[in-house]
Every structure is written in C-alpha cells, then in structure tokens.
Amino acid sequence: MNPQSQPARELTKLAGRRRELLAQQRDQITQRDSAQADVTQLGRDIKHAEARAYALGNDAPDAKGRARLRKLASQVEDLAATAEKVALAITALDDEVRAVTINNAGDLLQEASEQHDDAQERVAELVNELHAQRAMMLDAYTTAQRILATAGLNMTAGGLCDTPTVEAMVSDGGAPALFADPQRMAEALVSQRADLTTAAA
C-alpha cells in the first residue's frame, strides 16, 4: 500500500516502529536467556567447588566467583526489566494503532478502495495487452506453419511450439519461443536449400 492520507502515513510509521520494538524485544530476550544460562552454570560450578573444598577440608574457594555470580544475576534482572518495558511499549503501540484505525476507518477504507480501483484498471489494461500480444504470437505461428508447409519442411524439425493460452502464459510466467530448437530448424533450411540446388542442377 502506498499511503497518501495522514492516518495511513501514521499507521505506516507505527508499523515501522513496531517492527523495531519487536527486533529489540527478540534481542533482549536472547541476551537475557543467555545470561540466565551463564548464571545457572556458574552457580552450579560454585556449589560444586564449595562442596569439594568442604569435603577435602580446604578453605572455601575465592569469593570472586560469588561476586561474578551476583553481577551476572543483576544483568539478568536488567535485561528482563528491559524486555518487559519493550513488551509494554509494543502493547501501547498496538493500542495507538487501534485508536488511529477506529477514528479514521472511513478515510482508510476509502483510500484502500481507490487503490484497489487503480490496480483493477491497470489489470484490465494488462489483460487486454496480453490478449493482443497472444494474437500476434498466434499470427506468427500460423505464418510459420504456412512457410514450413510451402517449403516442404517437417514442422517438427525445429520443434514448432504451439501458442499457449493467456492463462498458461500467466501461470508459466511467460511464453515459449516459436521454435524449441532454432538451430535444428536452421540446419533443416540449409539442407532443404541444398536439395533444391542439387535438383536444379
């Protein structure tokens, strides 16, 4: 959609902002989950080290591990808080989109209808043009048939291709060449001329 009205432009702007927030939310959740996994693993490592030290009658491990654990846990909390803030922002944005849509539904529907009408008109032009081009292709096919018949050439020598229907061309995204094997057709023409020359001699 190519928005022209102010409400349509506003909705496009809000949609762009929502995509940005969703990307931020994904990043925050990914970072939070990764940090949480680090906290869990570090916590296990620390408990194992402390248990081993106690079992062997050694001093408790350096407190640096516990400090790092607290730092990581704090990071997890910060990331979780940011992810929640972004989630609330997305909800607020959705509310704004809903309000703009409700307040301007008539204008937005009118603009969509006009866009559809323009496209519908263009489609009609393209279909008519497609039918005209197919008629030209069919005329070329008929001409080629006549030439091959007059020259006494086998119509299958170069793979003379049938003209597809408009529906088939749309479905296939195009149309085939007049000859499936132009090189083979050229060789057949050369051979035919050689036969004619020999016969004339």
Chain segment 147-181, per-residue pLDDT in tens? 888 877 765 555 788 889 999 999 999 998 888 88
16 and 70 part of one domain: yes
Rounded average pLDDT over 60-72: 83
- Indicate the number of domains in the chain: 2
Instruction: Note whether residue 117 is domain-resident.
Output: no
Q: Which two tokens stand for residue 101?
A: 């849509």
Residues 6+ away with beta carbon under 8 Å from 45: 65
Instruction: Note whether residue 111 is domain-resident.
Output: no
Model pLDDT, residue 128: 95
20 and 90 part of one domain: yes
Of 103, 118, 139, the domain-final residue? 103
Q: Which two tokens stand for residue 146?
A: 């006549």
Share of the chain above pLDDT 90, in %: 56
87 and 155 part of one domain: no
Secondary structure class of 151 (helix, strand, coil): helix
Model pLDDT, residue 59: 80
Instruction: Note whether residue 116 is domain-resident.
Output: no
31 and 92 part of one domain: yes
- The closest alpha carbon to 48, from 31, 35, 65, belongs to 65
Structural domain boundaries, residue 191: 130-200
C-alpha span between 102 and 28 (Å, rounded): 32
134 and 96 part of one domain: no
Model pLDDT, residue 54: 85
Please answer whether residues 28 and 82 qualify as being in contact, where contact means their C-beta atoms are separated by less than 8 angstroms: yes
- Using the predicted structure, report yes or no on whether residue 15 has a pLDDT greater than 60: yes
Instruction: Please report, for the chain, how many H helices and E strands are present, in that order.
Output: 5, 0
Of 86, 103, 120, the domain-final residue? 103
C-alpha span between 37 and 76 (Å, rounded): 10
91 and 149 part of one domain: no
Instruction: Note whether residue 123 is domain-resident.
Output: no
85 and 22 part of one domain: yes
Which helix (H) or strand (E) segment holds residue 47: the answer is helix 6-56
C-alpha span between 137 and 162 (Å, rounded): 10
**Mean pLDDT for the chain overall:** 87
The residue whose two tokens read 């050369």 is: 190
Instruction: Note whether residue 17 is domain-resident.
Output: yes
Neighbours of 185 (CB within 10 A): 21
98 and 173 part of one domain: no
Instruction: Note whether residue 11 is domain-resident.
Output: yes
What phi and psi, each to the nearest 5 degrees, are found at residue 46? Answer: -65, -45
User: Model's pTM, two decimal places?
Assistant: 0.61
Instruction: Note whether residue 95 is domain-resident.
Output: yes
- Using the predicted structure, report yes or no on whether residue 199 has a pLDDT greater than 60: no
21 and 74 part of one domain: yes
Model pLDDT, residue 148: 82
Side chain identity, residue 94 = D
* Confidence band, pLDDT 50/70/90 cuts, at residue 125: very high
